[in-house]
With several copies, the nearest count.
Chain A
Amino acid sequence: MKVKYFAWVRERIGKAEETIEPPAGVRTVEELIAWLSGRSEAYAYAFEKPKVIRAAIDHAHVRPDAAIAGAREIAFFPPMTGG
């Protein structure tokens, strides 16, 4: 599963994208955030306020309880500030 990071989530983690293989028990977006947070200090810092983090699965906004099964690409980013 490909994961992408944007804006300060990207900066804190130190990379724009990677391929991950979370264990089977990680079923939702919020569980994936918790699992990623345990990988290193950098991930823990990026996801220190999980409620602020927005997620998209295959280019569509999703809520924290969305299932990640079947996702090709999951993205994490701060609230959008375009326009």
Chain B
Amino acid sequence: MTGPVTIRIQEDDFDIAREIAGLTKGRTDVGAVVSFSGICRGDEDSAKISALTLEHYPGMAEEEIRRHVDEAVSRWPLNGVTVIHRVGRITPGENIVLVVTASQHRQAAFEAAEFLMDYLKTSAPFWKKEESAGGTGWVEAHARDDEAAARWTKS
């Protein structure tokens, strides 16, 4: 791949425009950029949420994301990838995660971004704890996320 790879785990918010510019500025070989941002919602399955706290496994989280970025780069013709995952306390309306993919063609950019998000959900070592009026509790994994990730497995 000819292009930058950025992986960051941080407490601070991110600036989507700056991250997209980081993959495209001064270049004329990128034809398609897809960004996915995941945002903390104020309710989950009809329960009101006042905040999320995100815990991660330092070291492994970066390595696991890097492995999936490497796989995305080997599967699709990409010109750049950025993955940023926030940790710490996040309130509804705030950003949680960002994936940006750049490619010559739109289908590669779309598929690589979906692939990365599906794997972030199921295999990157992050855990969400929810605060609501009823107390705090760890978010349970969704079967639908496992199914979404399984569709990328080569048969």
Chain A positions within 8 Å of B, measured between CB atoms, are: 4, 6-8, 56, 59-61, 75, 77-83
Contacts and interface: CB of A to CB of B under 8 A. Distances in A.
Interface residues of B, number: 29
A8 B138 contact: yes
Decide if the interface of chain B is mainly helix, strand, loop or mixed. mixed
Given A6-B125, A77-B125, A83 B120 contact: yes
Contacts, number: 72
A80 B60 contact: no
Interface of B: 38, 54-57, 59-61, 63-64, 85, 96-97, 117, 120-129, 138-141, 145
Contact of A80 (B38, B63, B127): B127
A56 B57 CA distance: 10
Given A80-B127, A82-B97, A83-B38, A4 B57 contact: yes
A61 B64 CA distance: 9
A29 to B, nearest CB: 15
Contact of A82 (B126, B138, B140): B126
Contact of A7 (B38, B122, B124, B129): B129
A80 B55 contact: no
Contact of B124 (A4, A8, A82): A82
Contacts of B122: 79-80
Contact of B60 (A75, A79, A81): A75
Given A80-B121, A83-B120, A7 B127 contact: yes
18 contacts: A6-B55, A6-B127, A7-B127, A8-B138, A56-B57, A56-B60, A59-B57, A59-B59, A75-B57, A75-B125, A79-B140, A80-B127, A81-B127, A81-B138, A82-B61, A83-B96, A83-B126, A83-B145
B57 A77 contact: yes
A24 B56 CA distance: 31
Which of B56, B127, B139: most chain A Cβ within 10 A?
B127
A80 B120 CA distance: 9
Contacts of A60: 60, 63
Contacts of B141: 78-81
Contacts of A81: 121, 126-128, 138-141
